Amino acid sequence: MTDLEAVRAAPATLGSRRAWLGLTVLLLPVLLVSMDISVLFLALPTLTIDLDPSADQQLWILDIYGFLIAGLLITMGNLGDRIGRRNILLAGATIFGIASMLAAFAPSAGVLIGARALMGLGGATLLPSSLALISSLFPDARERATAIGVWTAFFAGGSAVGPIIGGVLLHQFWWGSVFLINIPVLLILLAVGPFVLPEHRARTLGPLDLPSVALSIAGILPVVYGIKHAATKGFDAQAVVTALLGAVILVVFIRRQRHLDEPLLDLRLFGRAQFSVAIGASLAGMMSLAGMSYLTSIYLQSVTGRSPLAAAVLGIPMAIAVFLCSMGGVGVGHRFGARPTFVFALLASAVGNLMLLGMGVHGGLWWYLTGSAIAGIGYGVSFTLVSDVVVSSVPPERAGSAVGISETSFELGNALGLALLGSLAALVFRSGVGYADTLGETIQRADGNAALIESARESFVGGMHIAVAAGATVLVAMAVVALVASPAKR
């Protein structure tokens, strides 16, 4: 179908049952990708007993999935625009399913790392193609906004319920069950998808510029690796050199995009103030959210002594807030305008982060529940508005590439939050005398020394307070940018 034919056919799909059924099918891979980012944290302890991975292998098991998703999102978004978004979605789902089977029955750590890499490859095709297909299913701006809100709500909800589902599965079955749960969901997608999802490819676009593809992957992967390495082992020479190498390659990549008629990364998009504000909001939001989620998870387990599953259950109020506000976030943006909505959402997230300063070693759980829920309101509104602005900023034939940019900003924001805010908290914690690198190690080595354990917990809470305050400061600064830079009109 040509672009003209797709436009002519659009009214027939407007508000139809097939369109909403298609959205339901698109939510399946979104849930899987978002859940898989968080569910493995719970499985790692039992997985470690069976496969006996080295410390480096454990890091690769956790990180290789996110590395490949971050490095391939822009490329896969562009590829879907050219070969067909439904085609690449179904191909990615097949790869994701095969890799999930390999991961579930992996006989060694090396095989599991390879399977996780394949899952990252498949996952990188699922996110941009699923969101870009919404523009084909819902040509009407109002219905598209509602659909994007639902998509964002399920993506955010998946990462929140992942640990809970993982905890239930691990209580009943072995660690491979957290991967096998993907299979029935993907089979439904592969069986129903070809009948309810429209194909969309841009026939006016030329072939991918392969040097740009190579440069983007070669630039993004070292940057993300360097940031993640800094988050786990501090800002050593390896982290700095690797990240700088990636940054240099990305500079070469950007310079190349300026001279191409059909660039992999359309820099003209950043000339639109609202698009740039949306990308900045996703970076700032994910950075603060990642830092807050990581540190409060440690707080709930190592400071208050809760199990991983109990800690995940306490995250439900925030998950509900994110889910509900994602559903209505775009409607709020259309009603009041993108600029005031972005400002409100970023400031609400900042207020929620600052309320966590009420958490202490021996109390403050209500501060966490209330603060995280208020932050969830801001994150839900902001993230769904980001997706709507990005999809609406480009013609339909370039939606996949634009979504690839926004999803990459989410991944980079997540990595920056863990590295910068996590390292800031760790720096404050390690300033104490006689502590190990982490609170958990310090408690294990304390050999029952109550005074040392109490002091270490107080030091960790102090570092957490400084880190979440820094995250709130980033959110406030981005709110000021949104107020100044965004166009005033709705």
What would the pLDDT profile of 108-154 be if each residue is shown by its tens digit? 888 888 998 898 888 888 877 887 788 778 777 677 777 877 887 77
Q: 345 to each of 11, 265, 410, how far by Cα in Å?
A: 33, 28, 16
Rounded CA gap, 30 and 148, in Å?
12
Residues making up the chain, counted from first to last: 490
Q: Give the residue-averaged pLDDT of 425-452.
A: 74
Candidate from 216-220, 397-401, 470-474 with smallest mean pLDDT: 397-401
Over residues 167-171, mean pLDDT:
71
Structure tokens at 374: 């208020």
CA gyration radius for the chain? Answer: 22
Please count the CA atoms within 13 angstroms of the CA of 177 that sit on its side-chain side: 13
Among 1.10.10.10, 1.20.1250.20, 3.60.150.10, 3.30.565.10, name the CATH number for the domain at 267-490.
1.20.1250.20
Provide CATH code, domain 1-207. 1.20.1250.20
Q: Residue 119 is encoded by which pair of tokens?
A: 């899952």
Q: Residue 271 CA to chain centroid, in angstroms? A: 25
Give the span between the Cα atoms of 89 and 87, in whole angstroms.
5
pLDDT above 70 coverage of the chain, percent: 86
Residue 291 near residue 421 (C-beta atoms within 8 A)? yes
In angstroms, rounded to a whole number, what is the distance separating the alpha carbons of residues 349 and 234? 27
Q: What is the pLDDT of residue 205?
A: 61
**Summary mean pLDDT of the chain:** 79
The phi and psi torsions of 200 (rounded to 5 degrees) equal: -145, 120
Residue 427, pLDDT score: 79
Q: Where are the alpha helices (DSSP H) in 181-307?
A: 182-196, 210-233, 237-257, 273-298
Cα gap 256→215, rounded to integer Å: 9
Binned at pLDDT 50, 70 and 90, residue 398 comes out as low
Confidence class of residue 12 from pLDDT cuts 50, 70 and 90?
A: very low
pTM of the complete model:
0.77
> CB neighbours (10 Å) of residue 27?
21
Tell me the C-alpha distance between 335 and 409, whole Å: 26
- State both tokens at 402: 């634009």
pLDDT greater than 70 at residue 13: no
CA of residue 172 relative to chain centroid, distance: 28
pLDDT of residue 348: 94
- Rounded CA separation 225/219 (Å): 10
Which residues lie below 8 Å from residue 447, measured CB to CB, with a gap of 6+? Answer: none
- For 43-99, what is each residue's pLDDT tens digit? 766 777 778 777 667 767 777 887 788 778 778 877 777 777 788 888 988 999 899
Q: Which residues have a Cβ under 8 Å from the Cβ of 163 and sit 6 or more positions away? A: 38, 39, 41, 42, 308, 309, 311, 312, 315
Higher pLDDT pick, 440 / 318: 318
Task: Phi first, then psi: give them for residue 363, nearest 5 degrees.
Answer: 175, 175
Give the integer Cα–Cα distance in Å for 61 and 115.
Answer: 9
What is the pLDDT, as a whole number, of residue 78?
77
Residue type, 367: W
DSSP bridge partners of 363: 360
pLDDT of residue 357: 93
Q: Which residues contact 448 (CB under 8 A, 6 or more apart)?
A: none
Tens digit of each residue's pLDDT (9 = 90 or more) over 176-196:
888 888 888 888 888 887 887
Structural domain spans, the chain: 1-207, 209-263, 267-490
In the three-class reduction of DSSP (H, G, I as helix; E, B as strand; rest coil), residue 441 is classed as helix
1-207 and 267-490 have identical folds: yes
